[in-house]
Amino acid sequence: MKPHEVIQPRSKEEFASNRYRVEIDNARVSPADLFNSDYWVNNTVLRKGDIIRCVAKDGSYAFDMIVTSQKLDASKSVKNLVTVALFPQLTDEVVMAAEVATLVDGTAPAPVIEDRVDETPAPKPTQVTPADRPGQFSHAKRKEIEKREKKLALRAEIDARNKARTAERLAAESASDAA
């Protein structure tokens, strides 16, 4: 999909800069193409300071870019000559400060263990009922929850009766087969 088809104009008075999200087709467009100004030339909506969130359709990457300069070329047809750069633009000092902040007592942070074999499943969260938090639910929501609880209780009762009848039938059949 082409960027000029995805990005739509908004009210100019709404924001000083706009944020856009573009899904990139990995089969046709490489990440290096996104930094080429020819890729964005047909998009006349982009202005200096706009931020573009580029997300791969297959989820392999996602990053932000900022429009660093813009010039409309109307000599033959209207073309938006923009240059883009990664956003945020971090200096070496900021990167160093971030690395120092992640260090614990001058040593590297402990590695994260991702594969846990003997992990027990997490308990299912209990459902919050209107009795737990009386002011949280409206009257209509309380009635809906009560109705759902009655329906679930009725289903459980019917299932228990059916299981009992099935057990009696199987016991009777096994007794008649034995005799």
Q: What CATH number is associated with residue 14?
A: 2.30.130
Instruction: State how many domains the chain has.
Output: 2
The residue among 70, 87, 104 that closes a domain is: 87
Alpha carbons within 13 A on the beta-carbon side of 141: 10
Q: What residues pair up with 82 in beta bridges, in sequence order? A: 70
CB 42 within 8 A of CB 36: no
78/134 same-domain check: no
Domain residues for 160? 129-179
82/151 same-domain check: no
Query: Does 124 map to a domain?
Result: no
Predicted TM-score (pTM) of the model is 0.44
The residue among 87, 121, 149 that closes a domain is: 87
How far out from the chain centre does Cα 123 lie? 24
pLDDT tens string, the chain, 179 residues long: the values are 565 566 666 655 555 778 888 898 888 888 888 888 888 877 778 888 888 898 888 888 888 888 888 777 767 666 777 888 877 777 778 777 767 776 655 555 555 555 555 556 666 556 666 666 666 667 788 888 889 999 999 999 999 999 999 999 999 998 888 87
Query: Does 112 map to a domain?
Result: no
Query: Does 133 map to a domain?
Result: yes
CB 32 within 8 A of CB 1: no
